[in-house]
Every structure is written in structure tokens, then in C-alpha cells.
């Protein structure tokens, strides 16, 4: 079974600064995907960034980037130039890569980190 | 854009009632999921479906059942609602590898 751990229940950052959210996971699988989701007060879960485990290059989406350390099973999210609209709950999630197999796209989530961006 | 729509944003039900939560997706995804979200616990998988009429239990299926009669629709059923089922319920659909696309959530209160 897979587990995902987010050890920071809450974090805060000043507007325009950089913040890093931590995530570790445990799995015996070699092929998988990792995701960061954002859930603002509207409750709509939004995919922020996606990483394929076989790719060594860290994924980047505008101000969002990840530090993927496969051997350490670590997947942190860095938010640069933080904006007030980044205030949200952030979830790290894991999915086994099993095309046509039995994973069915199931996600295992961490506990979430509440990020507050202060003006 | 993928759209996943849940029938209600807020529901208040009485203990013992049978409760239906409905979810519809418009992207012809094979896989659909029901998660429950509780503070400090993240999202936990209740049930999922990989095809019409096919379903499998997730991590916390007790007290719940599901129905998938059409590909686009996945229903979560609380046979006899209890107060410990007060929670946020999130429906999602996915095409493998792309991650899941979520509905807006239903906050259910059982009194």
C-alpha cells in the first residue's frame, strides 16, 4: 500500500516571497505519478502540477515547481512570488502508473497543508 | 475543459435517512471516484468505478454503496445516514496518468 505524508499542517508566507511545501511518500512501485492539488476556499480541487516518476527533470508550471527526489521519496512544491490567490489547502497525491491495469487512476492523498499568503 | 458536477453543494439530512449524492462528468472518462474529506485526514477513497456497473471498494466503504448505470454518472448512497458520516464528499473522474478532475464537493451534515 502507498502512503503520502505532509508534515506541515499550516504554513504562512508574505506576498511576493517564496514558500516550499513538503511531501514524502512510501511505495514499492517503480512507475508512478505524483501530483500537487490546490483547494481554495471555494472547495474546487485544482491540479497544480504533475510529475512522472521516470522523468528526472523536475516539473515546472509558471510560479510553481517541484523538487522530486525519487531515492528519498520526497516531492516538495515551491511557490515563487506568492500571491494572495495562492491561499488554499494544498494536497500531495500519488498514483500508480499502470496503463490498462488495475490501478484505475486511484489517488492516495496526504493530509494537506493550509497555506496562508499575507499582504 | 473537463467538467465534473455534483448535484448539491450543501445537504442536511436526518439520522437514518437514505441519502443519494449524484455526480456527472462530461469527458467520457472510464474511471470515477468518491472521496471523503475530513480535517487532518486528507481525502480518503470510499468507492470507485472503472466501467458501467463495475465498482470496487476503496479504503473506507463501510456504510456506503454506489451505483453506475451510465458511464457519465456515478452515485454515492448512504443507506442509513449516521452522524459520523457528516463530512465533505468529493467526486472525481480520471483518465489514467492525467490525474483526477474533481467536482465542487458536497458538504453533508447528518443531524
With bands split at pLDDT 50, 70 and 90, how would you rate the model's confidence at B2? low
3-state secondary structure of B19: strand
Cβ of residue A44 closer than 8 Å to a chain B Cβ: yes
Chain A residues in contact with B99 (beta carbon < 8 A): 33, 35, 37, 47, 50, 93, 95, 105, 107
B57-65: Cβ within 8 A, 24+ apart: B58/A106, B58/B33, B58/B34, B60/B36, B64/B34
Binary contact (B105, A44; C-beta < 8 A): yes
Residue B55 has pLDDT above 60, yes or no: yes
∠ CA B29-B12-B27, rounded to 5°? 10
What pLDDT, in 10s, does the model give residues B13-23? Answer: 999 999 999 99
In chain A, the percentage of residues whose pLDDT exceeds 90 is 81
Residue A49 has pLDDT above 80, yes or no: yes
Is pLDDT larger for residue B98 or for residue A11? A11
Amino acid at each position: 500500500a502507498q502512503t503520502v505524508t505532509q508534515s506541515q499542517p499550516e504554513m504562512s508566507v508574505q506576498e511576493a516571497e517564496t514558500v516550499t511545501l513538503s511531501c514524502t511518500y512510501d511505495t514499492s512501485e517503480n512507475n508512478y505519478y505524483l501530483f500537487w492539488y490546490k483547494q481554495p476556499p471555494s472547495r474546487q480541487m485544482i491540479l497544480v502540477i504533475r510529475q512522472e516518476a521516470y522523468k528526472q527533470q523536475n516539473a515546472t508550471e509558471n510560479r510553481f515547481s517541484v523538487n522530486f527526489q525519487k531515492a528519498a521519496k520526497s516531492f516538495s512544491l515551491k511557490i515563487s512570488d506568492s500571491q494572495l490567490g495562492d491561499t488554499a489547502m494544498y494536497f500531495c497525491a500519488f498514483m500508480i502508473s499502470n496503463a490498462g491495469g488495475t490501478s484505475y487512476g486511484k489517488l492516495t492523498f496526504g493530509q494537506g497543508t493550509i497555506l496562508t499568503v499575507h499582504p | 475543459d473537463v467538467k465534473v458536477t455534483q448535484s448539491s453543494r450543501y445537504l442536511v439530512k436526518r439520522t437514518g435517512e437514505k441519502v443519494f449524492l449524484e455526480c456527472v462528468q462530461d469527458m467520457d472518462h472510464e474511471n470515477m471516484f468518491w472521496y471523503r474529506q475530513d480535517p487532518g485526514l486528507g481525502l480518503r477513497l470510499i468507492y470507485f468505478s472503472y466501467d458501467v456497473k463495475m465498482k470496487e471498494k476503496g479504503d473506507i466503504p463501510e456504510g456506503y454503496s454506489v451505483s453506475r448505470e451510465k458511464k457519465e454518472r456515478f452515485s454515492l448512497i448512504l443507506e442509513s445516514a449516521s452522524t459520523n458520516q457528516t463530512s465533505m464528499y468529493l467526486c472525481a473522474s480520471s483518465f489514467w496518468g492525467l490525474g483526477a478532475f474533481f467536482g465542487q464537493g458536497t458538504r453533508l451534515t447528518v443531524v
